Structure 1
Amino acid sequence: MLATQYVTGMRWQDLWNERVWSKIGAKNPFICGLAQDGTPLAAGLHNTTPEDLLRFTMIYTPSWNVVSDEKIVSDRLLKSIQTMGNPEAYKGSTEEQYGTDWFGEVPDYNSAQWDHVFNDGAMFKHGNMGQGIYVDPARDFCGMYFGLAPNQDEISGIDHSPGYLRNAAKMLAGG
């Protein structure tokens, strides 16, 4: 975020709204948490409605044109996101264990802010307190969920929602 602000000379949230949010038919503003000096907080505190979040996830699918007149995520960028992860760096990590618990299968790596990426191109981003987005471009599927569960498994149990979204994508695609 800070590099983007430095290179463009724009506040991150203004650039994001100009290049992405304003193009997806969002009904509400994208709200980004800011430090006292106006620095955007990269570690969460991004707020929107479920409907607008799904509009955002759709820009990664073949159905992007349902929410935008312009292709925002190019095929080249999507392929880069899906393939730039390092499976060796992911192996044995805490994220790998989370993914295994959540999905009931081992994700292959993480990449470009996506916490879990599968070799079939599906991607998942987890948020704090029981929320996440799942995008499966090959199956033209996206989904999101949210809740208020603490992150600690010993308090709220294992979050199986990511696995439910992945299974829904597979089932709806006939597999």
Structure 2
Amino acid sequence: MVTFFIVSKSLISQTGLERDIANLVAPTLEDMGYELVRVSVLGKEVPTIQIMADKADGSLISIEDCEAISHAVGAVMDVEDPLPGAWNLEVSSAGIDRPLVRLKDWQRFAGHIAKVELELPIEGRKRFRGYIYSVEDQQVSLRLDNGETVSFLFPNLRKARLVLTDDLIEASSRMVGVKKN
């Protein structure tokens, strides 16, 4: 599986088909009140296009939302035809243990644990796990389990995702107004 993220001043930047698709569908999603999180294209003969989205207001995406996004994105894809031949479309929410692809994701989830892989190593390491400590301009800092802090520039980020913890579940419940028993 190869995953790429849309190009923007605040997103992990990659090139290729995924970027092209993202640039096609992002305006439609924004008009509908959603934000594009990520586009992935999987497979070769009959590729699957995976669209991951958030509601712009931060509330949860429902099955009905995914269906509406699917219809709208499908229509755009049919007209623009960036992929020759047959393809499948999957639409989902970013989920609780979501990928961190936008600077605002890092800011929103400060204090939570993330797993990170960098393009270029820092002191010989490319992979880190720690609490999101700070986000300033294009620099992200993690507090590692040993108490050290590692900082990297956002454009050096290859991939990152939140780690599912009880604290993250609790915080996510509060964000959407869900009461925990």
Give the TM-score normalised by the residue count of structure 1. Answer: 0.29
Whose helix proportion is higher, 1 or 2? Answer: 1
Give the TM-score normalised by the residue count of structure 2. Answer: 0.28
